[in-house]
Amino acid sequence: MGLNLRAKLLLSLTTVLAVLSIVGFMTLNVQSDWGFIVQHRGSRLLGMLLVAITMGLATVVFQTITHNRILTPSLMGFDVLYVLVHSLALLVWGVGQNTGWPVELRFIVEVAVMVSIALVIFRLLFTDSVRGLHVLILLGMVTGLLFRELAELAQRIFDPSEFSIQQGSGIANFNRINVQLLWVGLIGVGLCSALLFRFRHQLDVLILGRDVAINLGIPYTKTITLLMLAICVLVSISTALVGPMLFFGLLVANLAYWITGSHQHRWTLPASVLAGIVCLVGGQLVFEHLLNSGLPLAMIIELCGGVLFIVLLLRGVKQ
């Protein structure tokens, strides 16, 4: 039931790379005093680590409960759904900081609203009846597109300078991490990760499909709802911190499957996080300090993820 030699080697290599990325990111090209570096780079590092954890876990768990390796929460538009809720919240609360509500509290309320909407949508799409994967992907893309357009509409109604999440063209940005939400994000990620890791054995069973899972005693609807809730919270945190990322989750989840070659979540969950750290922190390190390039890392990651998406789709068509 353990990992084979190849998987062990790959997993160790990924771990080493992840640690090297973190150490390198904090220490390379240090010119000013350490206090500033720790505060400046430390908060960015923490933000990236949180994004790596959220996207990895959320995607792997989502793919397990929907029995596919192509569809992700981002492709279903869960991240832009959060953006939409956030912009509508600005409408209700009014723009500006002097609403009397602290940022963290507003964030929590927004997440609660987003989770409720996402759960309803999930219920409608993933009913007890089995749908073809291609129908699901189509439906997911349509809902994703719908939220994207609605969020854009909302963005046009408001003053764009007040729209703190949606940056630039709507692509994630690791140089402008929303540091105000780091602490509440850290707590949320901690709770959700602990929950998901506790459910690792149940997740293993859920891969076998609904009927077998119920046969083996999993309270199916309750478990799926709880897992979906955790996924939504994780996606919201990631989106609030850096902005929406369409293909990053797909990339790290499939890297995790490839690295471990296993169905067991006690391996795939950590592997997805490690792969995410290598991609984000390692990528940022290479771009910022080694290449001195102004290229946005998010673009490159999205490009790789997008290519992978097409490859997976083509392979799915062939089967």
Partner 1 sequence: MIEARGLSKKYQDTLVVEDVSLQIPKGGLTSIIGPNGAGKSTLLSMISRLTPMSVGTVEIDGFDVTRTSGPELARRLSILRQHNESSLRLTVRDLVAFGRFPHSGGRLTTEDQKHIDEAIQYLELEEYQQRHLDELSGGQRQRAYVAMVMCQDTEYVLLDEPLNNIDMRHAVGMMQLLRRAADEKGKTVVVVLHDINFASCYSDHIIAMRRGQLAYQGMPEQIIRNEVLTDLYDIPTSVHELNGQRICTYFR
Pick between residue 98 and residue 319 the one whose CB is nearest to partner 1: 319
C-alpha to C-alpha distances, 1 to 6, 11, 218, 263, 264, nearest whole angstrom: 14, 16, 21, 10, 9
Query: Does 104 sit near partner 1 (CB under 8 A)?
Result: no
Token pair for 40: 């400046």
Local structure of 229: helix, strand or coil: helix
| Minimum separation from the CB atom of position 67 to partner 1 (A) | 7
Structure tokens at 26: 């904090």
181 binds partner 1 (CB under 8 A): no
218 binds partner 1 (CB under 8 A): yes
Determine if 313 is a binding residue for partner 1 (CB under 8 A): no
Q: State how far the Cα of 253 lies from the Cα of 157, in Å rounded to an integer.
A: 36
> Which of the residues 111 through 130 are near partner 1 (CB under 8 A)?
128
Mask 66-95, x = binds partner 1 (CB under 8 A)? -x----------------------------
**# chain residues binding partner 1, by CB under 8 A:** 23
Amino acid at 94: G
Q: Which residues contact 101 (CB under 8 A, 6 or more apart)?
A: 93
Site for partner 1 in 239-268 (CB under 8 A): 261, 263
Among the residue ranges 17-25, 75-83, 209-217, 300-308, the one whose residues contact partner 1 (CB under 8 A):
209-217
* Strand, helix or coil for residue 128: coil
Distance CA 257, CA 268 (A): 6
Of 17, 37, 150, 207, the one binding partner 1 (CB under 8 A) is 207
SS3 165: coil
CB 1 within 8 A of CB 264: yes
168 in contact with partner 1 (CB under 8 A): no
Taking the C-alpha atoms of residue 57 and residue 202, their distance in angstroms, rounded to an integer, is: 15
- Closest separation between CB of residue 39 and partner 1, Å? 42
Whether the Cβ atoms of residue 277 and residue 18 lie closer than 8 Å to each other: yes
Query: Which of 57, 205, 232, 256 is the binder for partner 1 (CB under 8 A)?
Result: 205
Identity of the residue, 203 or 277, whose beta carbon is nearer to partner 1 in the bound complex = 203
Under the binding rule (CB under 8 A), the answer on residue 3 touching partner 1 is no
Sites of contact with partner 1 (CB under 8 A): 1, 67, 128, 200-202, 204-205, 207-212, 214-220, 261, 263
